[in-house]
Amino acid sequence: MLTPPNILTIAGSDSGGGAGIQADLKTIMALGGYGMSVITALTAQNGQGVTGIHAPDPDFVALELKTVLEGFPVAAAKTGMLFSAGIIRAVSPLLRQRSFPLVADPVSVSQSGSRLLQEDAVMALKEEILPDCDLLTPNRPEAEMLTGLSIASVDDAFAAGEKLLSMGAKAVLVKGGHMNSSLMVTDCLCMPGQAPRALPQARVETENNHGTGCTLSAAIATGLGKGLPLLTAVTRAQEFLNLALRKSYSPGKGCGPVNHAAALNV
């Protein structure tokens, strides 16, 4: 039996289980990795929304990360909800010393509209995380927030991706789930020195789309941790998410999660 690669998620906890740390760990295990976590915030959350957020002291979050890095050879990592400038500035020095790929999902707003990144943390994200990540995975609102550009088309997404590359990200995947298309979702992958790539997937009509961004970034990180090239890791993660959306269901009230076990039950 091959030893699974150690994949680390640095993100917030979703008490409803559909997004954040919980979605990441389910994804990592489903794709053959061993999941580890650094929890940046606790959210009181269900399918109807976020009712509260409690963040630990930034020094404790840094201690979580330091302790994991000292105890495990990490094959890849991802960041999700980082919440505050203090937490970002506490973990970024440790991440800069890493020897593994880092996927940064710049989580700013929940599916239900609750803010998950404080206003004063946006600049810290731009300064500390964006220039040091191997792949940045913003959705349309996050890409607009980070670049100041308006995105209404694939060409606009390409332009935003190129600007984010100029801001320091080593590669950018601008996700297309928020675009107005009834048939396809087109993610736009931008890498230095290469023409941007449009990566379309069939749109899945479902209300159970909680945790899609977390799931996609965790799946990409797991692929990178298994040694896959970036493009292959991205396209396989897209396929995993698309299946999870097609097999999604509602375990409770409100917006349900994607089905992270779908690939195990086909």
Helix, strand or coil, per DSSP, at residue 194: coil
Separation of alpha carbons 134 and 163, rounded Å:
15
Within 13 Å, how many C-alpha atoms sit on residue 76's CB side? 28
Residue 131's domain is classified under what CATH number? 3.40.1190.20
The answer to whether residue 196 sits within a structural domain is: no
What's the structural domain count of the chain? Answer: 1
Q: Please name which of 237, 50, 38 lies closest in space to residue 137, comparing C-alpha atoms.
A: 237
Tokens of 87: 């937490």
Beta bridge partners of 44: 52
Tens of each residue's pLDDT in the chain, 266 residues: 689 999 999 999 999 999 999 999 999 999 999 999 999 999 999 999 999 999 999 999 999 999 999 999 999 999 999 999 999 999 999 999 999 999 999 999 877 777 889 988 999 999 999 999 999 999 999 999 999 999 999 999 999 999 999 999 999 999 997 676 668 899 999 999 999 999 999 999 999 999 999 999 999 999 999 999 999 999 999 999 999 999 999 999 999 999 999 988 75
Residue span of the structural domain in which 124 resides: 6-152+209-264
Burial state string for 214-231 with b = 16 or more CB within 10 A and e = fewer than 16: bbbbbbbbbbbbbebebe
The answer to whether residue 1 sits within a structural domain is: no
**Most distant CA pair in the chain: distance in Å?**
49
The answer to whether residue 172 sits within a structural domain is: no
221 in Cβ contact with 236 (< 8 Å): no
